[in-house]
Amino acid sequence: MTGSGRLAVVTGGARRIGRVVASHLHALGFDIALHYRASAAAARELAAELNGLRNESCALFSADLGDPQQALALAADILAQRERVDLLVNNASGFAPTPLEQCTPGQFDEMLGANLRGPYFLVQGLLSGFGPGASIVNILDVHVQRPLRHYNAYGAAKAGLASLTRSLALELGPRVRVNGIAPGAIIWPEGEEAYDAAERERTVSATPLQRLGEPMDIARTVAFLACDAPFITGEVITVDGGRNLVA
């Protein structure tokens, strides 16, 4: 990745929302450092697509962000290729039920690592690359405010990331702005019993806009915070079609 344009690091960028975010930022002129953990084939496919549109504009990086050492190594690998990072999108996430009576320390740590520890140490590792005007966008979840039954460890980790968003906005300003996005029902989780057909119908019917959102809704909000909101920091934007307004 030898381009000289703005660089966006997108974690979990191979599939689902992350893929659309990476593609949208690329269309806006960003070069992309595309992180993945297990979705190697999808990551290679997207990188080939983006590099076909603009040569050497996307590079792939693999790491398990639940491991702080791998998060720091990822940051070092990115900075070895490009000295400046203009945007970090902490999108990679773990999502799994942890009923209190069954949750093990390992399962709790897995949720904490994927959703909080990884973003923290990735930011730490990239600090020297953030220049004036850089931006961090953390992808959170509406369930920080509306807890999802049996997903207590996931919710706690995302709540921690919301707190970290505000803390880092204070600590890294004025050089770096830090904001969050809390998506609602955008893409249903894969294979999770919490969102069976009945729950999906209830969620949509209770949403004022009466539909699911789209990954592009998140991608556009990321782009807004990164490119068009120079006086916004420490904020979390909820993108849920108004679902949070309904009891």
Q: pTM of the prediction? A: 0.94
pLDDT in tens, 96-136: 999 999 999 999 999 999 999 999 999 999 999 999 999 99
Domains of the chain: residue spans and CATH: 7-245 (3.40.50.720)
Q: Is 151 a catalytic residue?
A: no
In DSSP notation, 192-225 reads -GGG-HHHHHHHHHTSTT-S---HHHHHHHHHHH
Q: To the nearest 10°, the Cα dihedral for 150, 152, 153, 154?
A: 90
What whole-number percentage of the chain has pLDDT above 90?
81
The active-site residue out of 36, 151, 154, 195 is 154
* Residue 9 pLDDT grade (very low, low, confident, very high; cuts 50, 70, 90): very high
38-64 tens-digit pLDDT: 999 999 999 999 999 999 999 999 999
Nearest to 209 by CA among 170, 247, 240, 171: 240
Phi, psi of 235 (to 5 degrees): -110, 155
**Amino acid in position 78:** I
